[in-house]
Amino acid sequence: MSSQSKSIEPYLNCSFECGCGRTHSSLFAHYIFEPGAIKKLPKLLSQLGYVRPYLISDTHTHEIAGCQTEEVLQKAGISFTSHVLKSPENSDLPADENALGSIAMANDKDADIIISIGTGTINDLGRYFSYITGRPFLLVATAPSMDGLVSGVAPLVFHNMKITFSAQEPLVLVCDADIMTKAPLKMLAAGAADILGKYNCLLDWKLSHIVNDEYYCETIADIMRTAVDQTMESTKGLASHDDQAVSVLTEALVLSGIAMDFSGNSRPASGAEHHQSHYWEMQFLFDGIPAVLHGTKVGIGTVLMLELYNALAEMERPDFDAVRANIANRLSMEEWEQEMRRCYRDGADGIIELEKKAKKNDPENLSGRLLVIEERWDEIQALAKTAPKADEIYQVLAKMGAAKVPADVGIPNQYVSDSIRYGKELRDRYTILQLMWDIGKLDEEAELLVEKYCR
Ligand SMILES: [Zn+2]
Ligand SMILES: [Zn+2]
């Protein structure tokens, strides 16, 4: 049951003291990617000492792999409870309090392990349910479509807000190559795009390290860079559903999860490009429009955010005295709140509360950051110069047949303009968006981006 992957193996069930001063550890112990992997489940469970799983799937994933999992367990004489959530027609099940309630109500309290069959919602829900009920978690993945295959957190929708909760990382990840390689191209491309987003979020993380002295770990960043390199290598073979390409992509997604696990939050895997994705996702939820795959939106967001880094790389040094003199002319808290009510609608209260705690737009905090940005401008600009060109990533997305611009998935221009200007309010996380706001350039850059990408 060992991993077939050299890049993942060193991090299975590990704990080590890192140069960053922290101890990194992972409970994730078994990674299987091979044809017919589901058939190995009974043996695997008995070796690990589990006898009674609670299976969670949805209508789609039950058809893809749930049926087969039940059959395999039945044949082996393993008793289990299986709960199949009903997927809405033509869209994905939202990972919200309703879905979680349904899982809780069908729960087998005597089950000794939770098995989720699926990749997105079902994985997030199962991982969280496993965490709150104190049982180990096993994931049977159905598509390499996002980087949360192995992760200790779960993004769930609560009161219309997407919130990241602590969750149980899987003890075992089972990837049946027969199923994974047959995943629709849009799912493969979404998985790759989720990793391509790391080009941006690694820059955001380093940027925050420079500006705010935020914790930063080079080991974790390196794991993520390996994932990005592997993904770039895989993109050529995805369109033809090449076995090797899908295997390499899945490994990259697993590595990204491990990196998140090591940092204890999603910092190494989620920056401004994810804020764009989350913002659009919320708007679609409000409007009742079927969701678009997470990674697909992240890919589009990545192109936009890399444009901001490219602009930063070319920018003249700001006149910091003028920026400071202008602080009083920015939106007042009342005006800003009005904008939050317009953009975040039912979710506005949460956003306003967050800002009251984070105070990232507070004039005093802004002045403090401006001093650092002024002093370290050359370093910041040197970092921006390491960013790939937005067009390069645009071309990679194009070659995979993935969505490249907001209109490709029906995101209206207004949402793009708002996500660039206010997507940063979703989290207390420093990114290129906050930096552009700090130096008074965000509105101007938002306009340029809408002009270029929303025609
Ligand atoms: Zn470290
Ligand atoms: Zn993601």
Q: How far is the CA of 291 from the centre of ligand 2 (A)?
A: 14
Per-residue pLDDT of the chain (455 residues; tens, 9 = 90+): 444 578 999 999 999 999 999 999 999 999 999 999 999 999 999 999 999 999 999 999 999 999 999 999 999 999 999 999 999 887 778 899 999 999 999 999 999 999 999 998 999 999 999 999 999 999 999 999 999 899 888 989 988 777 889 999 999 999 999 999 999 999 999 999 999 999 999 999 999 999 999 999 999 999 999 999 999 999 999 999 999 999 999 999 999 999 988 998 889 999 999 999 999 999 998 998 988 999 999 999 999 999 999 999 999 999 999 999 999 999 999 999 999 999 999 999 999 999 999 999 999 999 999 999 999 999 999 999 999 999 999 999 999 999 999 999 999 999 999 999 999 999 999 999 999 999 999 999 999 999 999 98
Residues 401 and 258 in one domain: yes
The three-state secondary structure class of 273 is helix
Cβ(261)–Cβ(28) below 8 Å: yes
* Domain hosting residue 155, numbered range: 9-183
Ligand 2 mean position, distance from CA 49 (Å)? 33
* Amino acid 94: pLDDT: 87
CA 227–ligand 1 middle distance (angstroms): 17
CATH number of the domain that residue 81 is part of: 3.40.50.1970
In the DSSP assignment, the letter for residue 404 is: -
192 is a domain residue: no
Residues 178 and 298 in one domain: no
| 40 and 139 co-located in one domain | yes
Q: Give the residue from 159, 183, 207 where a domain finishes.
A: 183
The verdict on residue 121 lying in a domain is yes
Residue 362 counted as domain residue:
yes
Q: Tell me how far the alpha carbon of residue 259 lies from the centroid of ligand 1, in angstroms.
A: 10
Q: How far is the CA of 9 from the centre of ligand 1 (A)?
A: 17
Final residue before a domain boundary, out of 160, 183, 206:
183
- d(CA 170, ligand 2 centre) in Å: 17
Distance (angstroms) between ligand 1 centre and the Cα of 52 equals 37
How far is the C-alpha of 134 from the C-alpha of 128, rounded, in Å?
Answer: 10
How many angstroms separate the CA atoms of 53 and 108, rounded?
Answer: 9
CA of 20 from ligand 1 middle (Å) equals 4
Å from CA of 18 to ligand 1 middle: 4
21 & 93 share domain: yes
Tokens found for residue 69? 């999992």
Same domain, 245 and 118: no
pLDDT at 290: 86
- The C-alpha atoms of residue 163 and residue 411 are separated, in whole angstroms, by 22
Q: From 75, 78, 65, select the one nearest 122 (Cα to Cα).
A: 65
Domain boundary among 183, 202, 219: 183
Query: How is residue 243 written in tokens?
Result: 């076995």
The Cα–Cα gap between 388 and 38 comes to 39
Find out whether 260 and 153 touch, Cβ atoms under 8 Å: yes
What is the per-residue pLDDT for 2? Answer: 41
Together in a domain, 304 and 164: no
pLDDT of residue 160: 76
Among the bound ligands, name the one nearest to the CA of residue 146.
Answer: 2
> How close is the Cα of 217 to the center of ligand 2, in Å?
19
CB within 8 Å of 181: residues ≥ 6 apart: 241, 242, 243, 246
Q: Which of 317, 291, 439, 426 is nearest to 378 (CA)?
A: 317
Same domain, 52 and 161: yes
Does 188 fall in a domain? no
Centre of ligand 1 to C-alpha 412, Å, is 40
Distance 50 CA to ligand 1 centre (A): 33
Q: How far is the CA of 54 from the centre of ligand 2 (A)?
A: 27
Instruction: Kindly give the distance from the C-alpha atom of residue 151 to the centroid of ligand 2, in angstroms, as a whole number.
Output: 11
- 154 CA from centroid of ligand 1 (Å): 22
Say if residue 156 is in the same domain as residue 258.
no
Residue 439's nearest CA partner among 390, 374, 381, 378 is 374
Ligand closest to the CA atom of residue 293? 2
Q: Provide the domain count of the chain.
A: 2
Q: Please give the distance, rounded to the nearest whole angstrom, from the Cα atom of residue 264 to the centre of ligand 1.
A: 11
pLDDT at 4 (0 to 100): 56
151 and 66, same domain (yes or no): yes
The residue to which tokens 């904008």 are assigned: 339
Q: Is residue 16 part of a domain?
A: yes
In terms of domains, do 390 and 266 share one?
Answer: yes
How far does residue 430's CA lie from ligand 1's centre (Å)? 20
Give residue 278 CA to ligand 2 midpoint distance, Å. 10
- Cα 316 from Cα 125, distance rounded (Å): 47
Return d(Cα 258, Cα 77) in angstroms, integer.
34
Do 164 and 243 lie in a common domain?
A: no
The amino acid at residue 171 is L
* Alpha-helix residue ranges (DSSP H) falling in 213-331: 218-238, 243-263, 272-287, 294-314, 320-325
Decide if 63 contacts 136 (C-beta within 8 A): no
Query: How many Å lie between the centroid of ligand 1 and the Cα of residue 12?
Result: 16
- Residues 162, 52 within the same domain: yes
In a domain, 388, yes or no: yes
Q: Which residues pair with 49 in a beta bridge?
A: none
Q: The whole model's pTM is what?
A: 0.92
432, part of any domain? yes
**Ligand closest in space to the Cα of 271:** 2
- Domain-embedded: residue 444: yes
**Angle, helix 294-314 to helix 442-453, in steps of 10 degrees:** 120
Q: How far is the CA of 22 from the centre of ligand 1 (A)?
A: 6
Residue 3 has a pLDDT of 43
| Ligand showing the shortest atom-to-Cα distance for residue 262 | 1
Cα of 280 from ligand 2 centre, angstroms: 14
Distance of CA 428 from the midpoint of ligand 2 (Å): 17
CATH of the domain at 428: 1.20.1090.10
- Spatial neighbors of 222 by CB under 8 A, at least 6 apart, are none
Buried b (16+ CB within 10 A) or exposed e, 381-404: eebbeebbebeebbebbeebebbb
